[in-house]
Amino acid sequence: MTDSPHKDPASPAPSDRVSLESWLRRAAMGEIRASVRLENWQDQALCKAGVIKPEAVRCREVDAVVDTGAVMSLLPQDVVEDLGLEPRGRFIVQLADDRKIELPCAGDLRLTVAGREMVTDCLVGPPGCEALVGQLVLERLDLICDPVRRTLTVRPESPFRPTLKMKAASASLREKLPA
């Protein structure tokens, strides 16, 4: 018989359990990254109209952090400049540590992630900062985060196109929709 204070020798010691729980928590709540294609939407329109050639459309692929706590997406200033995005004003942004800063906004950005695309604006961060995909993109494209697999995928209930929610206007819409 050992002098161990534990009744069950197969059970980890409390300090070991804390370490294991901490490791599992970190592993389960890992950072989610996604490959994102960025294009100047105005260039796309000019290309479609035959004004510029497809190779003249300014585009980039970036590896972005999916930030479920961010509302808007954020791109580094150097990427915004490379894409030739137009200024769209400025926003006050509250950071995770509750500080507030002012950031410029730019658009028209065509963003493709997880096989779905949209045209949107983005916040402009300092040159070389990490690109972020925010909630507006996740909601509009109907994407979900899997923190265990660390992936961003389309919602299984809407595999072919995004399904958007509109509860407040649903009664008035039902009256106007064809039967």
| Count of Cβ atoms closer than 10 Å to residue 155 Cβ | 13
- The string of pLDDT tens digits covering residues 6-45 is 454 454 555 555 555 555 455 545 789 999 999 999 999 9
pLDDT at 175: 73
- What is the domain extent for residue 85? 29-170
Which token pair is 54?
């497809």
pLDDT at 11: 47
Instruction: At 141, give phi and psi (nearest 5°).
Output: -95, 0
Which token pair is 129?
């900062």
Residue 23 lies in a domain: no
Domain count, the chain: 1
The domain that contains 36 carries what CATH number? 2.40.70.10
pLDDT at 22: 54
- Residues facing 36 on adjacent strands: 62, 113
- The string of pLDDT tens digits covering residues 86-99 is 999 999 999 889 99
> What stretches of the chain adopt beta strand conformation (E)?
33-40, 59-66, 74-76, 86-94, 100-113, 116-125, 132-133, 143-146, 151-154
Rounded CA separation 26/16 (Å): 15
82 versus 30: the higher-pLDDT residue is: 82
Stretch 68-72: mean pLDDT, rounded?
A: 93
Residue 7 lies in a domain: no
